[in-house]
Structure 1
């Protein structure tokens, strides 16, 4: 969400105190995941006021029907008189006949602790605002105050980017800022450090709700600090955080749902992994990704997401840049910060690279069009089968490998992606001027030349070509290898419980399984007259065979026995590794360019 602090303060000062919408939320029945929300709206002019639950949440692009978790709605006037309520659609409550004041109350069921929904139980009240609070669209410019009624018996405390008014009451200058301000109420711990920002100090606050020890938190916080400073180096400065503070809201508890969600001055980080149970290594990547968003997407913001729509899906063709380039930097930052080794970083690219490179989806959609798919895939739900294996590449992954290609291509020109991101930051981030795709192309042309920008955008963004990764990776002493002797079936198969194998995913176009006519849901009962290889993973069985081997397969589909022949192909996957790990000897130039790229000592 995009607001400058001066703009926010101006709005705040211009709104009379009497025109404040006030909320109260309490958690007496937290054991059953219920919260009671009350709201008071005064000095109302229209006879009918519509209240509604949002259908979207900042940082998400799909629809989420938060209204389904609301019940026991009531509305009264200033004297406590019950008012007439109409339901024109599933998301709205129209209140009629008030006396200038409407007081509403309702019960909210909340039991998903992630970056979109809310969760209330006896461990915490994890609140994403759109999933929690009704709002009146016609009153969206008013100031908001909310009183979080704490469970003192549970030692709860409040953490949020919202500024404190007093006690347990916090404020927002308007609806947009309120919606963008997740709040964690729990018995959490806090660590903080100050970072210089153009001669003044900004506070970085890490809030952690977990079941671990202070020593674990201290060790993890040292990694968080390294990430913050490494990302500041990319852009040359921190954003100018509203109220001078940025807050990480982390819940590493068994009842959470793994997620991360960026906001203007805070981020939600949730995981079921405790710090002692793998989270020290497994959770830090989300910290890196979400904090990078404080620049790229929160302030360097696509024009198509402004203003954010709380009633309809939000579609953008720029997610390959907003999410994908952020994904490229996620592990690169961990490497630069010394949290993972260069070897681990490089080898870790392999999975994402193969997913994008070997996908048949590029014949259907370019990165812009993949970004358009976000409302269908970004935590969206559906009950009908889809063909994503063949038609979709995540804009996170697609943009990540294109970010890698752009960085290495620029370095061949004695430039780099960091400095390009600095330029985009100065042009569109610091100024908070939303950008278009044409703006990005123009910025790249300004930085690297028109020919370079035209080639990159024409081939890889407006079309779906792939850069010459072997050459680009070779420039930094990284090999890209394929094992042509490794056999490949082309579909995921697993035991179904009766000694047979079930195809669990749609075979990809052009693979041996696809060409043989096998499909998701088929039950393989026999291979070459020897039954299904029960007792071992199907992938391990295939690995023992050879490219070109013929498999005569008997399978069941819809209760009917069928037969087909699969000829094993060569596995298309690539492996990325440091040249010296494969017995090669990178040149001094390659080592120098690798060091400049990773900003860490090579070894």
Structure 2
């Protein structure tokens, strides 16, 4: 006999005002008080989001419609008492942010992130769940989700975790699908797109999606064993959403304000590549620190440099191998990430593991007090991506045909496919096994558990990529400026150790003249220092809190790098390495 299921129903009669009406029935309750909660977190996110703030008009009855007592022990919970084993609860949900974390309801769609939509009973988390989505037939809505279809608008999840991990798009979307075979089994890859574009644009876009899927499958040698044999992209490319991407076990949310006709054919493909790669790396190759996922507290992990960062490294690489971008475009794009990490003063405060610990404060987290992240934080996405680059090129320099692809396959077979959660030390042991104990220990000691930088010049040039500092003699201030109304305003804290920092300039200061030359109306941040070179001492007049002040600073040197693909004739070994690295599989 199967377990008693929790039953949900959601409908949208007041979608124009961003409201849904939700009801839920809980049967076979064993405790006198049923505790119901709205989650404070969402799978794939690490910060708190307080979804209870958008729930109101809560009512509870028993199986006969008799009102039950509802009390609030904390801001996120409703306690229902006086029942005889059955509770029916109803409430109104307000939802108006379409992205990977929140829900959005309007007359274009019901874009539902489950933790932001449904109350849950934490004491009964292993019970199956059935949900009845009631689309607006007058708006031609239909349902796309990774939940198991039961027919008649009914869908099921085996337990709370799977339910919470199953975003749902209800709209007049277009659907495309194709089949991909892995280990003798066929999987259906579905792409549900809610957009205002044409079928022809979607058909063109699907060619890129298919190529990305094929290249990512080649990295691991196989697809994950998707539940119910299906993987679903849930894409909303509409003006009313917020740009985002969010991975789930057998689906992903993709939101963008860029239509396919307005740059989305290429620019939105990066999110497709990133989130689909997560089907292996983070959904199944999963940090132990995220198991089990906590719906009431922030989820902290020290492995995000790998889970998110290595996925970010593969994002651009997959676009390159799939032919969505050229090898030149991919290589040109490496410079931004390398400059950000190499030249950041934050490395002296935190290593990649500790940067990962910051996720609850930076991953779509909300705060109102100023922070000093310009000097103390490097995104674990970017930090991890440049470590992935270094590890890939380092392995390709070794004998035996090693590569990051091969290492990811090893980690997949050891931890991902059997779904054994890993730690950072597990990754180190895996690298020692794959590439040798000495190499594995040294890589983790220097670059993961410390903040040293690999020799990127040597690594990149071994693959025919020039890594240079063309502006080394140019003057550098070390501050982001907004030039308007004859003043250059510091819009962020200056970089620690820079000329602006050493001279005592701070965020909010308005520079009015440099070296006796007033800031002109048509000045821009790039030409303000054009008359100077590094090492020059200049007088700077500025305003702080409306008061005129003066300082003298010694201009620093532009330390930014460029990455340039060498397009001449390459030595055979270099050419082979570059093709193995960047070429399609």
Specify the alignment match of 2:143 in structure 1: 158
Q: Distance in 2 between matches of 1:137 and 1:35?
A: 23
**Structure 2: unaligned runs, 5 residues or longer:** none
Which residue does 2:185 correspond to in 1? 200
Question: What TM-score results when the alignment is normalised by the length of structure 1?
Answer: 0.95
Match of 2:477 among 489, 497, 502: 489
Q: How does 1:393-412 map to 2 (within 5 A)?
A: 393-412=378-397
Matches within 5 A, 1:338-417: 338-414=323-399, 415-417=402-404
Alignment of 1:92 onto 2:80: no
- Residues 1:451 and 2:438 aligned together: yes
Deviation at 1:438, TM superposition (A): 1.3
| SS of residue paired to 1:338 | coil
* Structure 2 residue 31 is matched with structure 1 residue 46: yes
**2:126 counterpart (131, 141, 157):** 141
1:464 equivalenced with 2:451 (yes/no)? yes
Q: Name the residue aligned to 2:560.
A: 573
Contact 1:21-1:40 at 8 Å conserved across structures: yes
1:545 aligns with 2:529: no
Offset, 1:197: 1.1
Residue aligning to 1:78 = 63
Compare 531-540 and 88-97 and name the one that shifted more: 531-540
Map residues 183-262 of structure 1 onto 2, 5 A cutoff. 183-262=168-247
Provide the rounded CA distance (Å) in 2 between the counterparts of 1:279 and 1:93.
Answer: 43
Distance 2:365 2:530 in 1: 36
Determine helix, strand or coil for the equivalent of 2:526. Answer: helix
Paired position in structure 2 for 1:57: 42
Per the alignment, residue 514 of structure 2 pairs with 527
Task: Answer yes or no: is the 8 Å Cα contact 1:15–1:142 preserved in 2.
Answer: no
Aligned counterparts of 1:77 and 1:274: Cα–Cα separation in 2: 48
Other structure's SS at 1:541 match: coil
CA displacement at 1:437 relative to structure 2: 1.2
SS at 1:540 equivalent: coil
Aligned-pair CA distance for 1:556: 1.8
Aligned length: 582
Partner of 2:88: 103
- Paired with 1:206 and 1:250, the residues of 2 have a C-alpha distance of 7
Cα deviation digits, residues 202-255 of structure 1 (max 9, x gap): 110011000000000000000000000000000000000000000000000001
**CA contact 2:6–2:25 (8 Å) conserved in 1:** yes
- Higher mean displacement: 444-453 or 75-84: 75-84
State the distance in 1 between where 2:70 and 2:135 align: 30
CA distance in 2, matches of 1:574, 1:278: 28
Structure 2 CA distance for aligned equivalents of residues 516 and 45 of structure 1:
68
- Structure 2 Cα separation of the partners of residues 548 and 511 of structure 1: 12
Corresponding position: 1:422 with 2:402 = no
- Partner residue of 1:589? 573
Distance 2:96 2:530 in 1: 43
Q: Deviations over 1:538-581 (max 9, x none)?
A: 2232245333333322222223222111222211100001123x
Please state how far the C-alpha of 1:600 moved relative to its aligned partner.
4.5
Cα distance in 2 for residues equivalent to 1:574 and 1:544: 21
The alpha-carbon distance between structure 1 residues 204 and 600, as it changes in their structure 2 partners (threshold 3 A), is closer
Deviation at 1:47, TM superposition (A): 1.2
Give every structure 1 segment of 4 or more consecutive aligned residues whose post-TM-superposition deviation is greater than 4 Å. Answer: none
Compute the displacement of 1:585 (Å). 4.9
Please point out which of 289, 295, 318 is paired with 2:303. Answer: 318
Distance 1:86 1:523 in 2: 53
TM-score (norm 2): 0.98
The CA distance in 2 between the partners of 1:218 and 1:257, in whole Å, is 24
* Equivalent in the alignment of 2:10: 25
More displaced 10-residue stretch of structure 1: 531-540 or 487-496: 531-540
- Check conservation: 1:533, 1:541, Cα contact below 8 A: no
Could you tell me which residue of structure 2 aligns to residue 36 of structure 1?
21
Distance in 1, matches of 2:538 and 2:525, equals 13
Partner SS for 1:526: strand
Question: Is the deviation greater in 75-84 or in 446-455?
Answer: 75-84
| Cα distance in 2, alignment partners of residues 249 and 121 from structure 1 | 17
Asked if structure 2 preserves the Cα contact closer than 8 Å seen for 1:56 and 1:312, the reply is: yes
Please state whether the residue corresponding to 1:134 is helix, strand or coil.
Answer: coil
Asked if 1 retains the 8 angstrom alpha-carbon contact of 2:134 and 2:153, the reply is yes
Q: Would you say the 8 A contact 2:148–2:157 is kept in 1? A: yes
Report SS of the residue matched to 1:158.
Answer: strand
- Secondary structure in 2 matching 1:294: coil
Tell me, yes or no, if the aligned pair for 1:444 and 1:453 is still in contact at 8 Å.
Answer: yes
Secondary structure of the corresponding residue to residue 135 of structure 1: coil
Distance, in Å, in 2 between the alignment partners of 1:35 and 1:229 is 39
Aligned match of 1:278 in 263, 266, 273?
263
1:474 aligns with 2:458: no
Counterpart-to-counterpart distance in 2, 1:377 and 1:288: 23
Q: 1:406-439: CA deviations, max 9, x gaps?
A: 0000011031110110000000011001011111
Contact 2:348 2:451 in 1 (8 A): yes
Structure 1 unmatched ranges of 5 or more: 1-13
